[in-house]
Structure formats: structure tokens, C-alpha cells
Structure 1
Amino acid sequence: MTEDLVPSEGVLLGRAFIPGCTHPRLVTVRDRKIFDITTADAPTSRDICELGNPAAYVESIKGRHIGPLSDILDESWNGARDGSRPYLLSPVDLQAVKASGVTFVVSLLERVIEEQAAGDPSKAADLRNEITALVGADLSQIEPGSDAAMEVKKALIEKGVWSQYLEVGIGPDAEIFTKCQPMASVGFGADVGLHPVSKWNNPEPEVALIVSSKGEIVGATLGNDVNLRDVEGRSALLLGKAKDNNASAALGPFIRLFDSGFGLDDVKALELTMTVTGEDGFVLDGASSMSEISRPPEKLVAATVGSHHQYPDGFVLYLGTMFAPIKDRDTKGGGFTHKLGDVVAISTPALGTLKNRVQLSTQCAPWSYGASHLMRDLAKAGLL
């Protein structure tokens, strides 16, 4: 596996399974080698992200050399994961995993189409043309919650196309939801899961921010917010079923911690690319530009944490995507949906590449190692 899947610069924080260890270990990358930096002072990803200067702390730990980065990437992607060799895990552990939705205009319109189609992909193409014609206004130029946005809302209601998705897309309140429980996300090379009931679904390439309990943004990583378009399209009240299933939240390969060379302004300028490669030979290319996000990342963080809601272990926040796949896969007008075995690769040079293979959630490795297991194992190892 090529090392260019991981940034060649910056302070990186990850988690890995290492043979002989009963619990996940914290790791970093130096000179294209993996080092174990787990200590009693900060034995979890959460603990490092709660420090005053996480990047400086990671750089200060000498660590124990584990092996070449390329070997561990290989095992993470194609290895047996039988416990004989190290492999990467999701880079977060005790943090809550949250997500913001409808933060880009293109995906906003696709959410409206899902709702109007009531989860039926065969109706999407005609609805897309009809709704685009009705909306008319360039919503990307509208500040959510502004007077101009409220005028557009009024006009759309009069046209009969108002939607709960338009409400969170241009209204005053951002959509923030729980993507999965702490310890439930998967990392680079793991299978990502689709609920077996879904027949219309897609990946969502996103940047995810790492936020401390104080609401401070300390780093960023890549995420795949696996989405079931038909389930959510039937009813927004099914959002939990559409979004939170076994292995449906992928993060990684590493957290890039903020330092003097990388910060929030750099995140706002990121350009993400995504490729879906199917076993049937189908290839789908997509992109998402953070410069086109309608709500600034810091405002999405403020909508998540504050006096109204606290996160004592910090949280991860998916920032949403402008990617909305409409390329026909099997039939004209049928649009895109996943097939089992699809390989999804989400990339940007500053954060690397998150690569996963699509399976049913019932076929992915079951989530069996939770916060209680981690705490017990850390205590047995003398790290608590």
C-alpha cells in the first residue's frame, strides 16, 4: 500500500491494534514509520485532544517504533486482521460522534428530492428538474437565517416546495445529529456497512473536526458519513436508521492536529475528491469543496456545544458534503446506489486518504469493544 495515502507533513494522531496488547494503542507517524505513543498521562485519543496543546504533546513523546507505515497500511487494507500484525483503527475513541447535515446547496436540493420522492429512486430525475426550476434562486449566495433567506423561504412556501431540509439548509438552525456512539466508528481499511433494507444509498465524503470538551477545535480528519437515501427519504424521523448502523461511520486514516502549519483556515480551503470503484467496473468520481459550505465550521461547532449542551469527552463533528451522486449506474434515470464490494476512497493531500469497502452492516465485523472494555483494559495495563 503506497505511503501517499497519509500526509507527509503535520502532526498525526491515530489508533492501532498492536499484537500482544489487550487494548488499542495511540500512534503517530514519523519518517514514514509508526510509533506507539500511549502513556499513562494520556492513554486515549480523547485524553490527548483535551490537552492544552495536543500537537506539542504528541511531538514530545519519544514513543516505541512499531513498523513501517506501508506495512501497517497493507495490513489495514488487505490483511487478515487476525491479531498477528498491527493495523489501523478509527483515530477517535471516547469522543461523541456527531454530524451536521444539509450544509452545502447541492446536497440540500438532493435531500429535498429524496423527501419528495418518498425514497423511490425512480422518481428522482424528474423531481430534480422540477425542483431546480421552481427554486430558481442561487441558494449558495444566501446566508442561512438571514433576512434574504427568510424571503426565499416565504417564496418557496408559496410555490409549494417548502421542505424540512430547506428549513435546516437556509433557516436559522443547523442540523446536528448523532452519527454513532463513542467507540463505534471504523477506520482506514475497515468495511463500511449498509443496512440490509436499503436499496438507494451513497457515500458522503466529509471533513470531520475534532473538538475538545471546551469547544476548541484541535484537529481534523476525513470521514465517510454512509447514507441511506431511501430510508431517510421516507421520513426524516428515520434519520437514526438511515445514519447509525454497524460500521456506518468511517474516520481516518489519522487526525491531523492543529499546529503552526495547519489550522481551521486550512480546513476551510480543503478540496476533497472521492472515487467509488465497483466490482462491476463502474467508477464514480466526485468532489466536495469546503469553500462552498454554507455555514462556517466554527458556527456548526457552536451549534453543537455550549451552555445548551456539553460533551465532557469532546466530540467529532462531520461537516457535511456537497457531493450528491446522480450518475446512472444500471438504468437510465436510475441514478447511483452502492453495490456490495464497492471501494470508496476519499482524499485530500492535507489529510490523506480514507479507504473502505462496502458491505451490509450485518456482514461487517460486529461492534463488540466499547468504552467499558477500554476502561477495564487500560486499568489492567496500569494506564489509569
Structure 2
Amino acid sequence: MQYHQLDGDDTGRLVVSTERGLYDLTAAKAQLRSFRDLASAASVAGVLPDEIAARHVREENEIARERVEADHTVPVTADEVWAAGVTYKMSEEAREQESDTPDMYLNVYDAERPEVFFKATPSRTVGPGERVGIRADSDWDVPEPELGIVLYEGETVGYTIGNDMSSRSIEGQNPLYLPQAKVYDRCCSLGPSVVTDVEDPHSLTLSMSIHRDGDCVYSDETNTGEMVRTCEELVSYYTAHNTVPELAVLLTGTPLVPDEGFTLREDDHIDIEIEGIGTLSNPVTTV
């Protein structure tokens, strides 16, 4: 099933998309106002989130797709967002190009232990249609489209799309500047939905396009099958020896990186699509 969180009132609403249509779960059960509520109820009952949702699908609570598209917000309010790096060959090559110490990225790509780093808090995360940020002290900024794993109490409960906004100029100066290159206001977007029934997360078409002044200035497509790590492997390293929060998202690395010399500008528009999850769209602003 596919889940959306809606904004527009004081407490939010949770909507599920099924083969029959879109249904307001909050209208059927007031306690189900977010994906967290759904995951928590499923955990207590010892069942999957979809089973809880199915109990509360009511024909009288069908909701228009236009309403969902107008009001949807971050589909999962994660306590923390983490990310993995150098999980695709293209990402390894791009980070080698930007860095004065390129060998370290090749070593991570081939190593047993992946790179896993902290990315964002809820206050730094935006949803569909909201502006993602580029740093005012950076002159080389790119989006990084990624499959996101949604975790409840450390267990995978769904998947979403993430945009790991990055300053390549800052990280390229020194790898120790990675937190400044990755963690700042509006540095991450998630959306447009959480999907719980992805058959194989390692076989999904992923594409990204960037538009500027009405023209497409970047477009490319690949598949998550190109990832050198598995989702299970990345989750195991994220949760090992780490007290993880109740609700988290782990981004799995980017397979698409614009060519060297390309940088985002104010008012650019980024569209990231992953098969079966939807399209995450965000304009750009300077922070």
C-alpha cells in the first residue's frame, strides 16, 4: 500500500492508496493521523501496517486525488534521517572528481564497511513542493536522488524517495567538512509517499530531471539494481551498536550525479521519480 500525510489542519491526516482508490484513514480512526501512528499500532498488534490500514478503509472516506496532491506533506516525520554514501559506481567516481583525496572514496566503495552518516532532523527536512536549500557559502551544489528505507524501531516497514542535497565544493575541500556539506537548513526532502509493498527494492527504475527557466538542464535514469550494497546490509550497519530512534529513514546512496561544472541555482526545479513510489518535486532556494 501507499501512504500520504496531509497538511492543512492542526493535527494532520493519513491517507492510504489502494487499488480501489484513496481513503482517509483518520476519518475512520482518529488515532491514525500519521504514518508513525500506523506503524506504532501495527507494532503493538504484532501485524504489518497494511493490515491495520485495511481494517479502516471505508468507502464513505474516499478522498479525491486532487486533495491529496494539493495537501500532501512529508510522508513520514522521521526522528532522524541518515544516509549511505558511495554505494553506486557513479557516486564513487563523482566524489573522486571533487576531492583532493580521491583514493578514500574508492576504498569505501570496495570496503566491507559502508559509509553511513547522519543527514537531517525533522526541522531540516522538507516535503513535496517545498523548497530545498543550497548553501550561500557554496558555489557547487547538487541534488542526490536516493531510495529511502523507512524504519520503525529498527525494522524496515516501507520505502520512500529522498533528496540528499549536497555541497560538493565544501566536501571537496576536505572530507572532514562532510557534515557542513550535508547537514544544514532544508538539506533533505522526502516524499511523496511511503510504500510498504515494494517487491524488490533492488530493481526499481530511478530518474531525475532538473528544470531552469522552463528548460530541462539535466535528465538521466538508472536502476537501483546498480547499487553495490543491499538494503539489508545498510540497515544492519546503521542499527549496529546504535540506539536508533522510533522512526527513521535511511537513504541508500545516489546513482545519478550531474556532470562536473553543473551547479543548482535559485528557483531551479528538481523532479525525482522512483518506480512504484511516485515523483518528489522541489524548487530550490538559497539558505
TM-score (norm 2): 0.89
Q: Distance in 1 between matches of 2:212 and 2:23?
A: 31
Any unmatched runs of 5+ in structure 1? 1-10, 76-86, 117-160, 327-333, 362-384
Kindly indicate whether the alpha-carbon contact (under 8 Å) linking 1:222 and 1:251 is maintained by their aligned counterparts in 2.
Answer: yes
Kindly indicate whether the alpha-carbon contact (under 8 Å) linking 1:13 and 1:58 is maintained by their aligned counterparts in 2.
Answer: no
Partner residue, 1:47: 37
Q: How does 1:1-384 map to 2 (within 5 A)?
A: 11-18=1-8, 21-30=9-18, 31-33=20-22, 35-37=24-26, 39=29, 41-50=31-40, 51=42, 52-62=47-57, 65=61, 67-73=63-69, 75=70, 87-116=71-100, 163-182=103-122, 184-213=124-153, 215-258=154-197, 262-263=198-199, 266-279=200-213, 281-306=215-240, 308-326=241-259, 335-361=261-287
Q: Distance in 1 between matches of 2:248 and 2:67?
A: 30
Describe the superposition over 1:52-99 as per-residue Cα deviations: whole angstroms up to 9, x where unpaired: 3011112222367474212442x3xxxxxxxxxxx1111111432111
Q: Distance in 2 between matches of 1:247 and 1:65?
A: 34
Describe the superposition over 1:13-63 as per-residue Cα deviations: whole angstroms up to 9, x where unpaired: 221113xx3123222235454524374655442232342301111222236
Q: Distance in 2 between matches of 1:312 and 1:341?
A: 34
| Matched position secondary structure for 1:28 | strand
Match of 1:283, as an amino acid? V
Kindly indicate whether the alpha-carbon contact (under 8 Å) linking 2:114 and 2:234 is maintained by their aligned counterparts in 1.
Answer: yes
Give the CA deviation at 1:335. Answer: 2.2
Kindly indicate whether the alpha-carbon contact (under 8 Å) linking 1:343 and 1:358 is maintained by their aligned counterparts in 2.
Answer: yes
Kindly indicate whether the alpha-carbon contact (under 8 Å) linking 1:13 and 1:26 is maintained by their aligned counterparts in 2.
Answer: yes
Q: Distance in 2 between matches of 1:202 and 1:176?
A: 19
- Which is strand-richer, 1 or 2? 2
**C-alpha RMSD of the superposition:** 2.2
Describe the superposition over 1:155-200 as per-residue Cα deviations: whole angstroms up to 9, x where unpaired: xxxxxx7632223221222111111013542111111111111111
Kindly indicate whether the alpha-carbon contact (under 8 Å) linking 1:94 and 1:183 is maintained by their aligned counterparts in 2.
Answer: no
Q: Distance in 1 between matches of 2:123 and 2:201?
A: 25
Q: Distance in 2 between matches of 1:193 and 1:183?
A: 13
Describe the superposition over 1:322-363 as per-residue Cα deviations: whole angstroms up to 9, x where unpaired: 21211xxxxxxx6211111111111133111111111113xx
Moved segments of 4+, more than 3 Å? 30-34, 38-44, 62-67
Give the CA deviation at 1:267. Answer: 1.1
Kindly indicate whether the alpha-carbon contact (under 8 Å) linking 2:26 and 2:32 is maintained by their aligned counterparts in 1.
Answer: no
Aligned length: 279
Q: Distance in 2 between matches of 1:224 and 1:162?
A: 24
| Matched position secondary structure for 2:258 | coil
Match of 1:62, as an amino acid? V
Match of 1:278, as an amino acid? R
**Cα separation, partners in 2 of 1:227 and 1:312, compared to 1, 3 Å:** closer
Q: Distance in 2 between matches of 1:282 and 1:13?
A: 30
Kindly indicate whether the alpha-carbon contact (under 8 Å) linking 1:13 and 1:91 is maintained by their aligned counterparts in 2.
Answer: yes
**Cα separation, partners in 2 of 1:13 and 1:71, compared to 1, 3 Å:** closer
Any unmatched runs of 5+ in structure 2? none
Kindly indicate whether the alpha-carbon contact (under 8 Å) linking 1:104 and 1:321 is maintained by their aligned counterparts in 2.
Answer: yes
Larger radius of gyration: 1
Kindly indicate whether the alpha-carbon contact (under 8 Å) linking 1:14 and 1:26 is maintained by their aligned counterparts in 2.
Answer: yes
Q: Distance in 2 between matches of 1:162 and 1:94?
A: 33
Give the CA deviation at 1:250. Answer: 0.8
